[in-house]
Amino acid sequence: MCCPQHPLHSKQRREVPRHPSFKRLAVAGVVAATLTACGGSDNSNNFIPFVPPPAATNPPPASPAVPGTMDVKLIAFNDLHGNLEPPKLSINAPAKGGGTVPVPAGGAAYLASAIASLKAKNSNNAVVSAGDMIGASPLVSALFLDESTIEAVNAMKIDFNAVGNHEFDKGQTELLRMKNGGCAKNTALEPCRVNKSFPGANFGFLAANTVKGDGNTLFPATGMKTFTKDGATVKVAFIGMTLKGTPNIVTPAGVAGLTFKDEADTANALIPQLKAQGADAIVVVIHEGGTTTVGYNDKSCAGLSGDILPILNKLDTSVDIVISGHTHRSYVCDYGKTNPAKPFLLTSAGQYGTLLTDINLTIDTRTRKVTAKAADNVIVQGEAYTSGTTTVALTDQYPTFDKNQEVAALINQYLTIAGPLVQRVVGSLTATATRTQTASKESVLGNLIADAQLTATSPAGKGAAQIAFMNPGGVRADLAPAGDGSVTYGQIFAVQPFGNSLVVKTMTGAQIKAVLEQQFNSGSNTVAAPKVLLPSAGFTYSYSTSAPAGSRISNLSLNGTAMADGTSYRVTMNSFLATGGDNFTVFNQGTDTLGGDQDVDALEAYIKANSPLTPPATNRITVLP
């Protein structure tokens, strides 16, 4: 019968120690003898020679191979504009059976989940916004100075926002509060009405081409993010900028003392130092953009045009990705097909959080170069909606995202506070007042707003105004009454969300004519792309775009009386125009300035006093050949 298993028998399967002691060698010999006896032996004297096992020769464990490449995911959006609630918009996407299908998109709670879903696909990721995150926002954000949007995006855990022009709507001091937090009052609205300890943004603001008087940038010019995998490390650098034309499209007082430098020159000057800091990929995040003639994710990028092109054509070829915005368009472009000398990947994610751009880079860890890059615009499908008589249902042809409960709870908190104010009826209209431009470039709603502002400032103590002008870009939504004709405060706030105040100045007839000439010939205001001011009732004039510059305006009349160049008039405008906004610099020449009410308050008072109000005609401007 064989011997029972020796208690050391099972230990023979373990790895032999690298430096066995003499004692262990002796034990091994005894065990060997015992095992031989159990199995029987031909050796008559049972002599078992002692043979020490061979010395351990196992080499030290090899270090894991460093990967030759590393994949990095970038997630981008732009022009959120405080759209915390779903904006009731859809994306026309290719349908499986041909044609297109409308996909309901947007809503910050769904956007947060979509970002998290993309992050989960690659832990080496960065999330960036290409500007206009705040400003020109719906009421649930604008009523609270966009604090609600900053807090919602904080929950999304993004990395950087390249400030856009609308971030400056309430001035640079208020913009600094958005980043740094606190409850300093920099506007007519009260800060911190919901969160008494507003924290500011937990992500970086970038503003490489926004320079203060001391030569420093308003916010950091660049950001860097480092990624590691199996012993390899790569770095991705981000250059954030807004368009250099920002001073022409925001309240000049809000950017006083700031200079907006050329975008391409700024980026090119930063690249050597970013390379010196170890950047393996360069990403430009810029609030400027273009348009295409194809769908939201069509990679052909057909018909690409716009102000982004001259910037791309000047950019250093070391740039790998250009994430853009401003035009509210969506595209994914291999710009190398347009200009082979500039092989950038150009992207934009539309507007209002309806899309995210999913960008994937492959970086060679030895050459420190990007070897592959691709992108897709992903629809943020969250919930169905009804707008007017149209209902857009969810579709199973594209992914849906659940609500992020933290963001949803935050939005509900702000909506609860805003609710009574939003639903308050301010008056009634007999018909919808639209912002659609007529042949003369007037709009019904623009004229109505001008009338409201003239009424608010015509009393002697309010400025004794005779004429009012409204800028078309400040009219942000149509004013459509309910079935009973009623309109709410929430609706009029959506029409004028900027919180501008009214200003009255004395201007001569010649100055008024000169400011109207600037509609066609001042900065970005051109004959091809004019900005036609909306005039109040009683003021009429004519224009001819075929006439020479400086001679396009004629027949100025106030209440049926021809206006004289040398006569002084009291003119109302909002605080944006009052300091030369939208390139109307002649407004700066006005004198005897008197400040007035908030623009939305003037509109509310006018509708209330004239209800049911019949929207005005668009017959104040005559277009001549």
Instruction: Please provide the DSSP assignment of 345-386 as one string.
Output: EEEEE-STTSEEEEEEEEEETTTTEEEEEEEEEEE-B---EE
Calpha distance 605→599 (Å, rounded): 10
Calpha distance 541→553 (Å, rounded): 7
| Residue 21: pLDDT over 90 | no
CA distances from 530 to 473, 523, 525 (A): 11, 10, 5
C-alpha 14, offset from chain centre = 60
| Residue 25: pLDDT over 50 | no
Residue 232's DSSP bridge partners are 229
Whole-prediction pTM: 0.80
Cβ atoms < 10 Å from Cβ of 148 = 29
State pLDDT tens for residues 277-286.
999 999 999 9
The H or E element containing residue 245 is none
574 is written with which tokens? 């909002």
CB-based contact 475:446 (threshold 8 Å):
yes
Tell me the pLDDT band of 530, cut-offs 50, 70 and 90: very high
Task: Calculate mean pLDDT across residues 234-261.
Answer: 93
Residue 282's DSSP bridge partners are 237
C-alpha 6, offset from chain centre = 73
| Residue 102: pLDDT over 80 | yes
CB-based contact 544:492 (threshold 8 Å):
no
User: For the packed helices 147-156 and 108-119, what is the interaxial angle rounded to 10 degrees?
Assistant: 20
State pLDDT tens for residues 398-457.
999 999 999 999 999 999 999 988 899 999 999 999 999 999 999 999 999 999 999 999
528 is written with which tokens? 């091809």
State pLDDT tens for residues 28-55.
443 333 333 334 434 433 444 455 566 5
Strand 390-392 relative to strand 385-387: parallel, antiparallel, unpaired? Answer: antiparallel
Mean pLDDT of the chain: 91
Query: In degrees, to the nearest 5, what angle opens at C-alpha 491 toward C-alphas 443 and 348?
Result: 75
- Which residue type occupies 449? I
| Residue 4: pLDDT over 70 | no
Backbone angles phi, psi at 168, to 5 degrees: -95, 5
- Quick one: 345 exposed, middle or buried, by C-beta within 10 A (0-12, 13-18, 19+)? buried
